[in-house]
Chain A
Amino acid sequence: MTIIKKFDPEEPKKGFSKKYISLLSSFLFALILVEIWTNNNVVVYGEKFEKLSQLAKQLNLENQILENQIAKYTSLGSIASKSAQLGFSTPESIQYIR
């Protein structure tokens, strides 16, 4: 007796395969890690940002002070008094060459 089995084509498996599920889980896990890392860093960066902002302010302030000091020492009044101390004087007579 020959038993003939009715051919039933294999039904495609419903839902995601294990492969996809594991990939998605890994991705989500990575995202969670990134979020934890970011949250931790945001607090630290806030402090760093504040420090950098203060440093920028301090440097601008020092720049301005230096600029003003240069202006003070290069002012004609200051140069005239220093040159007089060093013995320089205005020319007594000028000879013009034609």
Chain B
Amino acid sequence: MRLFAVKVFFLSFFLAIIARLFYWQVINAPFLQSQAEKQYFTDTRLGAVRGNILFSDGSILASSNPSFSLYGLPKTVSKEEKTILAYILAKVLQEDDVDNVAKEILDKLSQDLYWVLLKKTVTVEQKKKIEQLNLIGIGFNAESSRFYPEGSSSAHLLGFVGSDAKGENTGYFGLEGYYDGELKGISGLLRHERDASGLPILIGNFLTNQANNGKDLILNIDSSVQFIAEKTLKEGILRYGAKSGLVVIMDPKTGGILAQASFPNYDPQNFPNFPKELYKNPVVADQYEPGSTFKVLVMSGALNEGLIKPDTQCDICSGPIQLGGFSIRTWNNKYFPQTSMKDVIIHSDNIGMVFIGQKLGLDKFYSYLENFGFGKPTEVDLQGESAPEVRPKKEWREIDLATTSFGQGIAVTPIQMVRAVSSIANGGNLMEPHVVKKIKDGSRVFEVKPKIVRQVIKDSTAKVITEMMVKAVEEGEANWARPKGFKIAGKTGTAQIPVAGHYDPNKTIASFVGFAPADNPKFVMLVKYDQPSTSIYGSETAAPTFFEIAKQLFTYYKIAPSE
């Protein structure tokens, strides 16, 4: 009996061992295997480098700069050492305000944590200095920050790179936002076996999932044109005391954006130090009433329909007109009875435009608005584009048709306006605007081809309206500023700003839109000032800036005067 009990005891004992072994080796095997792998495998994240943004000539507009994040290991340092460590680090990291920075670092090191981030962007020089000090309780992680060699140039165009909710680098606004997926790339993973001292074992298991670096963007933006536009606009804003200003320059044949400048702007490298209102790109996000610059589009619609000719006479232009309880006047209260359509553009005659609007009628007028691309986004490759709505056709009254004919009571974006005028410059084709010309992924290059959205007006109409715009420059209010000998087509615009239900006569948006050389346009340009204080008129503010930029572009493009 005793022998039986001993046998049962041993049998139970072995069964228990077998059960336990079964648990460890079969049921819990995956967990244990992963635990073991953690001990002898090292995982290294292979960060993808964000793609570069390059001007059309290949020079760098945005690239990645190596940087490091500095972390602390509070549990490995004594209280006294933490104070000394904080002051030494503050001295290296910040030349001014050392006390405050040291206090911040000390506060972080005093937390009851094993690991704490002390500073996110540490430069290579700062890292070298810190490493030479042989400090304990700190370490570095490799990071990458954005670098903009042109400083705040093209800030609105570029956007910036910030952190998302997970702390990952993400592009916001402009190109950084629109092309974030292409620019950021895909991180990889390197897994290798290590020996007792942590060094890799060459014949051990090795697994690599290579990082795919971000793609490079090659822009249509020409660095010289961009520089000219920015410099001249900055000077213009100061000279005319404007609240803000912008310039867009586009190639009418391809829809490629050659330059875009806007002020006030921000430094994309230090974007958190600037008000958030400055982040959005006014070229694609701001809405404004185009004023008289809109007249060329309405005129081209009426010419295209054959409803008027350049010498058609206006029979309502002898004085102010009354419509729907409103009195409509010309901008300078001067009237030209039986004026021709050509002179309507030269004198920027509001009554003449009402005449044209009435000739067109609401249905055709509305269809031209849609065909010129108003009311819809232009699909430009920049994040944050807005598209002001055009009032539904059934809500239009007679007065709305009349005021919209001379560019008031309708909101557009600068990019919509420059694209619409581009269609006059290129013979009637509405183009899709593009900032990016090519996307480069290693050796593969994807080209963004010019895209014609639709033909809005006939080539013959485009030629007629171009001649009228040339006359407007040569004989209009802004002719004093134009460069002599060059054939430039253009139109000034002065739109009062609607404030609390009425137009403020002293606050205007002054603009000038045009293209040159008129016979074979190399560029279309819009210059717009918000609330210029030296003069409220586009002919005295935006037009001289337009001509100043055009003059420099003629030299740059080696275009000689035609006369």
Binding site for B on A (CB under 8 A): 42-43, 45-47, 49-50, 61, 64-65, 67-68, 71-72, 74-77, 80, 90-91, 94, 96, 98
The interface-forming segment of B8-16, B195-203, B381-389, B421-429 is B195-203
Alpha-carbon gap, A71 to B539, bound state (A): 39
Contacts of B201 in A (CB 8 A): 42, 46
CB contact under 8 A between A77 and B153, given known A64-B66, A67-B63, A68-B65: yes
B147-167 with Cβ < 8 A to chain A? 147, 149-151, 153
State whether the Cβ of B88 lies closer than 8 Å to any Cβ in chain A. Answer: no
Contact of A61 among B124, B149, B202 (CB under 8 A): B124
Closest to A50 in B: B199
State whether the Cβ of B561 lies closer than 8 Å to any Cβ in chain A. Answer: yes
State whether the Cβ of B59 lies closer than 8 Å to any Cβ in chain A. Answer: yes
B534-563 with Cβ < 8 A to chain A? 552, 555, 560-561
Q: Which of A42, A68, A71, A96 has the largest number of chain B CB atoms within 10 A?
A: A71
Contacts of B124 in A (CB 8 A): 61, 65
Alpha-carbon gap, A67 to B64, bound state (A): 10
1/0 per residue, CB under 8 A from A, across B411-425: the answer is 000000000000000
A-B contact pairs, 30 of them (CB 8 A): A42-B201, A46-B199, A46-B201, A49-B200, A49-B202, A61-B124, A64-B63, A64-B64, A65-B66, A65-B124, A68-B63, A68-B65, A68-B149, A71-B59, A71-B147, A71-B149, A72-B149, A74-B149, A75-B149, A75-B150, A75-B151, A76-B224, A76-B227, A77-B151, A77-B227, A80-B227, A94-B555, A96-B560, A96-B561, A98-B560
* New A-B contacts (4) at CB < 8 Å, excluding given A68-B63, A75-B149, A75-B150: A42-B201, A61-B66, A67-B60, A77-B151
B202 touches A64 (CB 8 A): no
A71 touches B202 (CB 8 A): no
B153 touches A71 (CB 8 A): no
Closest to A91 in B: B555
Contact of B202 among A46, A67, A77 (CB under 8 A): A46
B59 touches A74 (CB 8 A): yes
Q: Is the interface of A mostly helix, strand, loop or mixed?
A: helix
Alpha-carbon gap, A61 to B140, bound state (A): 15
1/0 per residue, CB under 8 A from A, across B222-243: the answer is 0110010001000000000000
Alpha-carbon gap, A91 to B170, bound state (A): 43
The smallest C-beta distance from B492 to any residue of chain A, in angstroms, reads 26
Closest to A74 in B: B59
A46 touches B147 (CB 8 A): no
The smallest C-beta distance from B144 to any residue of chain A, in angstroms, reads 9
B150 touches A77 (CB 8 A): yes
The smallest C-beta distance from B176 to any residue of chain A, in angstroms, reads 17
Nearest 7 Cβ contacts at the A-B interface: A71-B149, A71-B60, A46-B199, A76-B227, A72-B149, A75-B149, A61-B66
A46 touches B149 (CB 8 A): no
Closest to B147 in A: A68
Task: Give how many B residues have a beta carbon under 8 Å from the other chain's beta carbons.
Answer: 26
The smallest C-beta distance from B260 to any residue of chain A, in angstroms, reads 16
B199 touches A47 (CB 8 A): yes
Alpha-carbon gap, A47 to B195, bound state (A): 10
Closest to B195 in A: A46
Closest to B151 in A: A77
Alpha-carbon gap, A8 to B201, bound state (A): 63
Closest to B44 in A: A53
Contacts of A77 in B (CB 8 A): 150-151, 153, 227
A45 touches B202 (CB 8 A): yes
A42 touches B202 (CB 8 A): yes
Contacts of B203 in A (CB 8 A): 42
Contacts of B153 in A (CB 8 A): 75, 77
Q: Which of A77, A94, A98 has the largest number of chain B CB atoms within 10 A?
A: A77
Contacts of B151 in A (CB 8 A): 75, 77
The smallest C-beta distance from A93 to any residue of chain B, in angstroms, reads 11
B200 touches A46 (CB 8 A): yes
Alpha-carbon gap, A28 to B291, bound state (A): 95
Contacts of A68 in B (CB 8 A): 60, 63, 65, 147, 149
Closest to A78 in B: B149
CB contact under 8 A between A64 and B199, given known A75-B150, A77-B151: no
The smallest C-beta distance from A72 to any residue of chain B, in angstroms, reads 4
Closest to A51 in B: B199
1/0 per residue, CB under 8 A from A, across B65-94: the answer is 110000000000000000000000000000
Alpha-carbon gap, A82 to B111, bound state (A): 49
Alpha-carbon gap, A26 to B421, bound state (A): 90
A43 touches B150 (CB 8 A): no
Closest to B551 in A: A94
Alpha-carbon gap, A23 to B224, bound state (A): 78
Contacts of A64 in B (CB 8 A): 63-66
The smallest C-beta distance from B248 to any residue of chain A, in angstroms, reads 19
Alpha-carbon gap, A46 to B192, bound state (A): 11
Alpha-carbon gap, A57 to B64, bound state (A): 15
Alpha-carbon gap, A96 to B552, bound state (A): 14
Closest to B62 in A: A71
Alpha-carbon gap, A61 to B124, bound state (A): 9
Contacts of B223 in A (CB 8 A): 76
Closest to B190 in A: A53
B5-31 with Cβ < 8 A to chain A? none
Q: Which of B64, B66, B149, B555 has the largest number of chain A CB atoms within 10 A?
A: B149
The smallest C-beta distance from A16 to any residue of chain B, in angstroms, reads 33
Closest to B201 in A: A46
The smallest C-beta distance from A61 to any residue of chain B, in angstroms, reads 5
A50 touches B200 (CB 8 A): yes
1/0 per residue, CB under 8 A from A, across B170-201: the answer is 00000000000000000000000001000111
